[in-house]
Each structure stands twice: as C-alpha cells, then as structure tokens.
C-alpha cells in the first residue's frame, strides 16, 4: 500500500317545428317587386357560397403539398439517423458526500445516456461517464429491443467509450460527416435519451467552435463544439447532426445554470479515438503493422486513410503496403478513416486472405493481406502501460511538478486507473503524479517505455514507485506481470 515518504353542435339539434298552414296572401305589385329583388340577392349569395365550397374543395391539392413541406430537412435528417441511436440505462454505485452524517459510504443511482452505432456488428460509441462503474449496461435500440452490452474499451481523457451488443441481424450505422468544415450559425440537431425520454429531438445552431470546457478537477474537454440545441442529462453520448443528417459531434455536456449552452466532441476527434479503442491490436492482440492517419481532403472527395509508416516484418509490410499509400478498401469494407480500417480487421480468421485496394501515385493497386494472429504486435506505449501497470499517463509540465517539490525534474500525471489493476491495488488514483519507478525517474513517456522494456524492471518484483499527491511524496511497491493481456 502507499505510504508517506516524508515528504444529476352542441348540435342543438335544431328541432324542426312544423307550422300550421296559413291561407295564401295576395301580394301587391310593389311587394312582388321587393320579393324579386330579395330573391335575386339570395341567388347571388347562393352562387357565392357555391363558389366558396368549390374553392375549398379545389384547395385539397394545396393541402397535400403542404403535407410534403412538413417533411423538412430536419425531419429527414432525424429519420435517417434514428435507427443508429440507442438509449442506455444502468445503475451504478457512487460515494455519498455526507457519509459521515449518514454512516453510508455508497448508494445506488440510476444512470441514463445515449449511444451511436458505429459498426453493424453492434459496436456503440458513447461517453465514458455514461457507462463508468455500471455493472449491467442496458441498451434499447430504436425498434424497442433490449440488449445487455459489455464495455469494450474507454479513454478517460476524452470521455469516450466503446460498448457492444449482440443481435440476430446487422445493425444500421450512423452516416458520418466531418467537423473540419463546421460554420458558426449552421443548423444542428441533437437526438438522445433526454431525462429518459427516448429519442428526443432538439435543434439549434452552432454557437462557437474550439471551446475548452473544464467540468471538474479531473476532466477537461478541449476543442469542443458549442451549441444552443437542447441537450439535457441523458443526451450524453448521443449524436449531434448537421442538416444533412450526418454525425458531426458527440454530445457531452451542458453548462449548469445556463440556458442554451451545451457542448459536443467533434466527430473527427471522436472517431480517431474510437479507432484506437477498437484497434485489432488492443482487442484481439493481432498486429497489422499499419501506422496511419485520417486526412480530410474536402467535402467533395471526403476523408482518406493514409499509411504513414509500417512496422518491420509486419503482415502489412509483407502484403506490399508502402508509406504514402491511400487505403480505399479492405475486403468488403470501404475505408475512409482509421476507424474503417480497424473495423475491417476485426474478427478475421487465422490465415484469412483479405483483398486490399490502395491508391498509389494516382493508380489503383490490388494487394493481398494474410491474417496471422501469431505475429502479435508489441502494442503502443499507452496500451502497454494500461496492460502492465493499469495506468494511463500524460506528461505534466516540469514547472508545475517543481512548484510542489524541487527535488523532481518532472512527472507523469495519472489520468486513468484500471480497476483491479496493479496500480489500483496499491491505491494509486487519478490526479496522482508518477515521478519515479525502481531507480529511474519518470519525466517523459519515453522513460516509461524504457522502463517497461528493461530486463532489470522485469526481474525487480515488486517494483518500487514514487508519486506526488498534493504536497506529499508517497511510495509503494507494485507487483506486475510482463505477460499481462487484458
């Protein structure tokens, strides 16, 4: 355990009365003339009434046209997106703030949120805070079918997560736009599980772009979209759509106490994070060897997934892929983004051969990629740190660390801790600053990469670590497994 190192009509049914017949009266010439004038006026009025009735009857096509006009672009946008929007419910245990008064440290609360289907096999993008600590994630699709989802992966820093449901047929996915060409003032639409009212639709405009919003000491949203579309508790994780019905953001937060101020994570950011969360290396421990990036080339041509580099002796290198290639399809999956590529690689059989089409120097080139799970990737540093230590880390400015303790040259801030991981078992928590492990300082992520790859680290079990918490330096001993695979 860690020790101190000194340091929410009447129809009034007109009864018709029959009158008694009266004897006929003889009219004078003047009276007869008056009667004729009256009759003429009645005839004119009658003809006008008839014309009015005809005009109303003749206006029915205009009413039909008005009915078509009701199917506005917003209506069409919602109709297209709704099948890919799910409602999320669950119960979680939270620590009470008045535990000393009540004697109860924890209580059960109902949670709700929204999700977006990004893969026809049931992979759903949502906010991490929607599913965090939820023991049973319940998902309702647009056809009112209920599912129990499992948490696949999450990223605390961006507050995004991937969950998965199973179905007997492919799920409809959302149409994806881009957040690279958004304009303040353009119309946007939010769909979500607002206060538990399923598939609530609201609309508004983009109020501003590139906002930074701090919601707590541990959570800051950067470069987000500000909108005045009605976003309420339960909307989190749901789509923000443009007028064409394309996903341009993931709704994430509202400004408490304000009206018409809400925020969404730009879709380009969200889907790049989703690609990491759905990486075949992360989920299936299979290395394809492609290091790529999504490049937005304009609204006419869309996005492209460009190969930046290749890992040596990888299956991608064996297939003949080269840096600079634009991957346009893998198997039957069209590729425009990193997420598309990772989706195309998931669930493949050992030895399966995939047709890969790339654009190279203006020419289309056909390649064949053979899946080989035995050639496992070493994974990224973030993945290894998560698997081995149970930590997600980011560099903390050296001056901030030294303002607490001049003894240290810098440190790495703990942004997430894996439940039941080695770090969690030793009491490390979010917000701590890792300043050293064993005999090495941890000033940069490269330091951690060196430590995790060191034979001395592998043998030195348990490993001593040092963290800053507030103004104190704490230490403990962590036992890790270099073969951990989560």
Cite the active site residues.
129, 159, 236
CA-based end-to-end distance of the chain: 23
d(CA 203, CA 205): 7
d(CA 94, CA 106): 5
42 three-state secondary structure: helix
Q: What crossing angle do the helices spanning 29-58 and 60-70 adopt, rounded to 10°?
A: 30
Q: Two tokens at 190?
A: 């939010």
Let me know if 38 is exposed, middle or buried by CB neighbors in 10 A (0-12, 13-18, 19+).
exposed
d(CA 321, CA 308): 11
Report whether 221 contacts 161 (CB < 8 A). Answer: no
Cα–Cα distances (Å) from 18 to 9, 21, 23, in that order, read 21, 9, 16
The upper half-sphere exposure of residue 60, i.e. CA atoms within 13 Å in the direction of its Cβ, equals 4
Nearest to 125 by CA among 228, 252, 295: 252
d(CA 449, CA 7): 27
Cα–Cα distances (Å) from 177 to 146, 271, 334, in that order, read 28, 11, 15
Nearest to 292 by CA among 347, 336, 334, 248: 336
d(CA 152, CA 171): 17
d(CA 174, CA 162): 15
CB neighbourhood size of 132 (10 A): 16
CB neighbourhood size of 68 (10 A): 7
User: What pairs with residue 340 in β-bridges?
Assistant: none
Q: Can you tell me which residue has the tokens 């590729």? A: 335
145 three-state secondary structure: coil
């Amino acid at each position: 355990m860690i020790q101190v190192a000194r340091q929410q009509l009447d129809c009034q049914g007109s009864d018709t009365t029959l009158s008694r017949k009266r004897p006929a009266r003889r009219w004078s010439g003047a009276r007869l003339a008056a009667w004729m004038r009256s009759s003429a006026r009645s005839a004119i009025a009658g003809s006008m009434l008839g014309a009015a009735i005809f005009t109303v009857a003749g206006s029915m096509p205009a009413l039909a046209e008005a009915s078509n006009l009701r199917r506005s672009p917003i209506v069409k946008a919602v109709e297209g997106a709704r099948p890919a929007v799910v409602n999320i419910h669950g119960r979680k245990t939270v620590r009470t703030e008045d535990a000393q008064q009540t004697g109860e440290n924890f209580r059960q609360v109902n949670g709700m949120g929204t999700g977006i289907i990004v893969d026809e096999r049931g992979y759903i993008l949502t906010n991490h805070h929607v599913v965090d600590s939820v023991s049973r994630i319940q998902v309702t699709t647009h056809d009112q079918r209920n599912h129990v989802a499992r948490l696949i992966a999450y990223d605390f820093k961006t507050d995004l997560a991937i969950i998965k449901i199973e179905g007997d047929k492919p799920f409809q996915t959302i149409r994806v736009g881009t957040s690279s060409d958004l304009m303040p003032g353009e119309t946007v639409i939010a769909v979500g599980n607002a206060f538990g009212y399923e598939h609530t639709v609201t609309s508004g405009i983009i109020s501003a772009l590139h906002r930074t919003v701090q919601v707590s000491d541990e959570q800051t949203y950067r470069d987000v979209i500000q909108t005045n579309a009605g976003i309420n508790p339960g909307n989190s994780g749901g789509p923000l759509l443009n007028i064409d019905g394309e996903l341009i953001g993931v709704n994430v937060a509202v400004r408490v106490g304000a009206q018409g101020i809400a925020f969404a994570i730009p879709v380009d950011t969200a889907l790049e994070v989703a690609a990491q969360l759905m990486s075949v290396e992360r989920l299936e421990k299979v290395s394809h060897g492609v290091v790529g990036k999504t490049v937005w080339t304009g609204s006419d041509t869309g996005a492209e997934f460009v190969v930046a580099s290749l890992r040596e002796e990888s299956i991608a290198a064996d297939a003949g892929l080269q840096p600079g290639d634009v991957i346009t399809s893998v198997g039957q999956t069209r590729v425009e983004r990193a997420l598309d590529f990772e989706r195309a690689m998931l669930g493949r059989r050992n030895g399966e051969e995939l047709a890969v089409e790339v654009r190279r120097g203006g020419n289309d080139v056909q390649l064949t990629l053979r899946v080989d799970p035995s050639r496992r990737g070493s994974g990224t540093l973030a993945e290894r740190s998560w698997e081995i230590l149970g930590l997600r880390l980011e560099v903390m400015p050296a001056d901030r660390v030294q303002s607490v303790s001049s003894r240290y040259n810098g440190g790495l801030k703990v942004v997430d801790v894996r439940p039941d991981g080695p770090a969690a078992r030793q009491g490390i928590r979010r917000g701590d600053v890792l300043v050293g492990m064993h005999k090495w300082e941890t000033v940069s992520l490269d330091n951690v990469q060196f430590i995790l790859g060191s034979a001395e680290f592998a043998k030195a079990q348990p490993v001593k670590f040092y963290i800053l918490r507030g103004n104190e330096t704490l230490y403990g001993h962590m036992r890790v497994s270099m073969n951990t695979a989560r």
